[in-house]
Chains A and B, each alone.
Chain A
Amino acid sequence: MNVELSRRAFLQTAGAGLAGTTLGAFGFADIEAAHAAAIRSFKLANTTETRNTCPYCSVACGIILYSKGDLRKGEKADITHIEGDTDHPTNRGTLCPKGSALLGFVKSPTRLQHPMVRKPGSDKFEPISWEDALGRIARLMKDDRDKNFVARNNDGVTVNRWITTGFLAASASTNETAFATYKVVRSAGMLVFDNQARV
């Protein structure tokens, strides 16, 4: 955007009048010294940028994830900072109090890390492998479906529905997740199916 380009140029002159004069004379050591003296070194230097959108409300502000490491190069990526994307037409780089603290969501101490199971009557979660968890859930689903599937109603009409197991879908998962979910849920004949639009 033109305004922003001129703005950038403007800030360069406004931020300091010395860019053209003494900047050239700056050696690396000088930069280090200046930083050590007072100004914190710029923490986004040499990080990887990734474009994303805020997962909270439906304004869907553009955000930039800054990470150490680059997923696209097959590296592990650790997100170190998130801020608004000025290029985004809606938010123009701004973020609300939730969006500005998104890093805390990614790094929340209460994020789930491992599949867990709580057995009937137990007062705790226990770790379980993905394979065991998925196998067991599929078994529970199949047993319930086979037992309670309604192929025909009392009038003999084919209805092919399963209403003893239900699925609540999210409000912030991607369209792609939603579609994959839709296919799995509907193909099983589930009707007890809702999302968070209502609440």
Chain B
Amino acid sequence: MFPPLPNPSTTETAPRFSEKDLIRRSASTVPAPEQQLTEVAKLIDVSKCIGCKACQTACIEWNDTHPEVGVFAGAFENPPDLTPDMFTLMRYSEWDNPETNELEWLIRKDGCMHCADPGCLKACPAPGAIVQYSNGIVDFVHENCIGCGYCIKGCPFNIPRISKVDHTAYKCTLCSDRVAVGQGPACAKACPTQAIVFGTKDEMKGWAAKRVEDLKSRGFANAGLYDPPGVGGTHVMYVLHHADQPELYSGLPKEPRISPLVEAWKGVTKYAGLTVLGVAAGVGLLHHLIMGPNRVTEADEERAEELTEGDSHARR
């Protein structure tokens, strides 16, 4: 058994990381932190997951969110999608494996992947609304958030959601408040089968390797770890029985990366745009300096008077 997360302490504890440990801050720069924290990660072993939704209810309870009671819409996903009040969601997919002719019920816990190269942060226009700590946690800072929804467009996993109440973006914080006092995320603490475990990223990779070995021994030849390099790796990783086909798991992207559209928008457009505008203004200024204004001359006025007078005389 993976060592369980300890019980929380009720004595006031200083947080173990803070502003000083930021390695990225949206729409702004941060000084390089004095030291690199050990990277943490959450490992979700899909092959152990029983789809019980304990992670969802623990998440609601810990984060004091208030999702609405909805309706049954023909599927087990409830709420039907991530919401500003539901940071994580079990997604269920029934798949007839054509090789074995066995039904497989592939259940995946969806939520923020805490990418090493976070698209949300890259897209965010509000300074300090999205931050990344050197331990890998990508967090939203609500008082800086302007609610533009650019993070949604930036995210390769379609995770953040904008609240209709306070118009700021919400997503999994990896329970930064718990991790800051030496705890693990509420979902990992709750997960009945330890399908979710939490520790350092290296340790998670090691644990995943063992799980992959077990799965291979049970006939899942393509079992593997999902830690997509396209986003620089993630701090939430999956063990998949069919790592060659992640899209089977309710559309987990096979090779996620920040969309080229977003890269274009936040890369070349951003700089080229300002350049174009600057050049336009500069050219105007230059033109004015060289050519000077285009003034109406006395002669022009006289010509106009001649033209109109002739006409008015005629009328009179």
- Cross-chain contact of B178 among A18, A30, A42, A103 (Cβ < 8 A): A42
Could you give, for residues 131-169 of chain B, a 1 whenever the CB lies within 8 Å of some chain A CB and a 0 otherwise? 100010001010000000000000000000000000000
A17, B4: Cβ atoms closer than 8 Å? no
B53 at the interface (CB under 8 A from A): yes
In the bound complex, CA of A187 to CA of B61 (Å): 44
A16, B21: Cβ atoms closer than 8 Å? yes
Q: Which residues of A contact B191 (CB under 8 A)?
A: 94
A94, B54: Cβ atoms closer than 8 Å? yes
B190, A42: Cβ atoms closer than 8 Å? no
Q: Report if A31-B54 is in contact (Cβ < 8 Å); known contacts: A17-B35, A22-B20, A93-B4.
A: no
- Among B34-65, those with CB < 8 Å from A are 34-38, 40, 52-54, 56-58, 60-62, 64
Is the interface on chain B under 10, 10 to 19, 20 to 34, or 35 or more residues? Answer: 35 or more
A92 at the interface (CB under 8 A from B): yes
- Interface window among A6-14, A138-146, A160-168, A170-178: A6-14
A11, B184: Cβ atoms closer than 8 Å? yes
B189, A38: Cβ atoms closer than 8 Å? no
In the bound complex, CA of A153 to CA of B2 (Å): 64
A45 at the interface (CB under 8 A from B): yes
- Cross-chain contact of A83 among B8, B135, B179, B192 (Cβ < 8 A): B8
- Cross-chain contact of B61 among A33, A34, A96, A104 (Cβ < 8 A): A104
Closest to A80 in B: B64
Number of interface residues of A (CB under 8 A): 59
Could you give, for residues 172-190 of chain B, a 1 whenever the CB lies within 8 Å of some chain A CB and a 0 otherwise? 0100111111111010011
Name 11 A/B residue pairs within 8 A (Cβ), A-sorted.
A15-B135, A16-B17, A16-B135, A34-B19, A38-B139, A45-B10, A83-B186, A86-B7, A94-B4, A100-B186, A101-B60
Chain B residues engaging chain A, CB cutoff 8 angstroms = 1, 3-21, 34-38, 40, 52-54, 56-58, 60-62, 64, 131, 135, 139, 141, 173, 176-184, 186, 189-194, 199-200, 203
Chain A residues engaging chain B, CB cutoff 8 angstroms = 3-4, 6-8, 10-19, 21-23, 26, 30-31, 33-35, 37-49, 64, 66, 81-87, 91-101, 103-104
9 nearest A-B residue pairs (beta carbon): A16-B16, A34-B18, A7-B3, A100-B58, A40-B177, A101-B57, A100-B57, A92-B4, A97-B53
